[in-house]
Amino acid sequence: MTRSLKKGPYVNPGLLKKISGRRPESSGLLKTWARDSQIAPEMVGFTFGVHNGKDHIEVRVSEEMVGHRLGEFSPTKKFVRHGGKIQKELEQKQKEAEITAAQAVKAAATTKTSTGTETTKK
């Protein structure tokens, strides 16, 4: 549900206070826990450390982010991956295939250089 147009966008007053009178280049990382605050045009160029429940994730604000919430750019959940045992076996087979392909390329390169030196000796 969106916020009423009568109220206007919610921007945390503490964040506006932190960025007032500062320049984006010299401000460094501004830590914040205000994930629900919308990004205002005054925030463009600043780097915020947005808390995700465990640590602060760096978010550099660009013009395309204006109107979005700070929390959208700091995910709270870590994707581990699907699969389990079967997925591990598939990944192991893929890794082995990459290793054998790299070894084949290396062997082909060494035989090519050795045959190339034989032709120059004649």
Which residues lie closer than 8 Å to 96 by C-beta, 6 or more apart?
none
Q: Is the pTM of this model over 0.85?
A: no
Q: How high is the mean pLDDT in each 10-residue block of the chain (122 residues)?
A: 85 92 89 94 94 94 94 90 82 93 89 62 48
CATH superfamily name and code, 13-73:
Ribosomal protein S19/S15 (3.30.860.10)
Q: Where are the domains of the chain?
A: 13-73, 80-117
Q: How many Å from the N-terminal Cα to the C-terminal Cα in the chain?
A: 81
Q: What is the 3-state secondary structure (H, E, C) of 24-36?
A: HHHHCEEEECCCC
